[in-house]
Amino acid sequence: DGGITQSPKYLFRKEGQNVTLSCEQNLNHDAMYWYRQDPGQGLRLIYYSQIVNDFQKGDIAEGYSVSREKKESFPLTVTSAQKNPTAFYLCASKLFAEAFFGQGTRLTVV
Amino acid sequence: GENVEQHPSTLSVQEGDSAVIKCTYSDSASNYFPWYKQELGKGPQLIIDIRSNVGEKKDQRIAVTLNKTAKHFSLHITETQPEDSAVYFCAALYTGTASKLTFGTGTRLQVTL
């Protein structure tokens, strides 16, 4: 089946630790995106990548980092510099116009 | 950059009634307008989209209308059912360049029995 897989579904992190969220797609899409969603809020763009080995900051990139070494993979690292990391993180990929989302990772800082 | 506003933030309707969600966008170059449905704890799913060369599009109980002059578009759900309860997001995009989707802030729709 084609689609976007995010893992893990739930993630707990201690304050001061970095953590990496996985996003893999087998749709052969060039563009991939990371969004953050807080309770009752919309989708805010963290980082996006239009092509392998290239990525751009979104609206709330501070405290996050990404890499795009392979077309199918776009991992997001939440660093200790992110002051309020507890949120629901969504990965998406896009070919031309239509975007497809993964099922999300809920990150909780304990 | 593009800015998308969405109203209302919450909407409660009785089963069988219609629901309408409205969005406005700021960038006149935007030419693609999708609508996503997000169920609790899941990722958004595309339910319908419209391109700027079309004024209206229907898919069973769901329809979307676009007014390019006024820069607004709306989602219409008829004969609502409890399973329509979810958060709905509108978005706008210009497909001519490598660009990103800009989302509205979402509408929480509750269909009551």
Tell me the per-residue pLDDT of B12-45, one tens digit each, with 9 for 90 and over: 999 999 999 999 999 888 999 999 999 998 999 9
Question: How close is the nearest chain A Cα to the Cα of B94, in Å?
Answer: 8
Interval B40-98: pLDDT, tens? 989 999 999 999 888 999 999 999 999 999 999 999 999 999 999 999 999 998 876 65
Least confident span in A62-71, B83-92, B94-103: B94-103
Reported as a pLDDT band with limits 50, 70 and 90, residue A10 is very high
Residue whose tokens read 């509108």: B90
Q: What is the pLDDT of residue B2?
A: 83
Q: List phi, psi (to 5°) of B11.
A: -150, 125
Q: What is the pLDDT of residue A96?
A: 78
* CA distance readout (Å), B5 to A62, A88, B22, B47: 24, 22, 8, 19
CB atoms within 10 A of CB A92: 27
d(CA A94, CA B103): 14
d(CA B108, CA B111): 10
Is B100 in Cβ contact with A48 (below 8 Å)? yes
Question: How close is the nearest chain B Cα to the Cα of A90, in Å?
Answer: 7
Please state, rounded to an integer, the average pLDDT across all residues of chain A: 93
Nearest chain A residue (CA) to B32: A97
b/e per residue, A22-56, with b = 16+ CB within 10 A?
ebbbeeebebbbbbbbeeeebbebbbbbbeeeebe
Q: What is the pLDDT of residue A2?
A: 66
Is A90 in Cβ contact with B44 (below 8 Å)? yes
A window 33-72, beta carbon within 8 A of B: 33, 35, 40-43, 45, 48, 50, 58
The closest of A57, A58, A65 to A82, measured between CA atoms, is A65
Is B105 in Cβ contact with A45 (below 8 Å)? no
Q: What is the pLDDT of residue B37?
A: 97
Minimum-distance CB partner of A50 among B36, B98, B103: B98
Q: What is the pLDDT of residue B6?
A: 96
Count of CA atoms in the C-beta half-sphere (13 A) of A85: 27
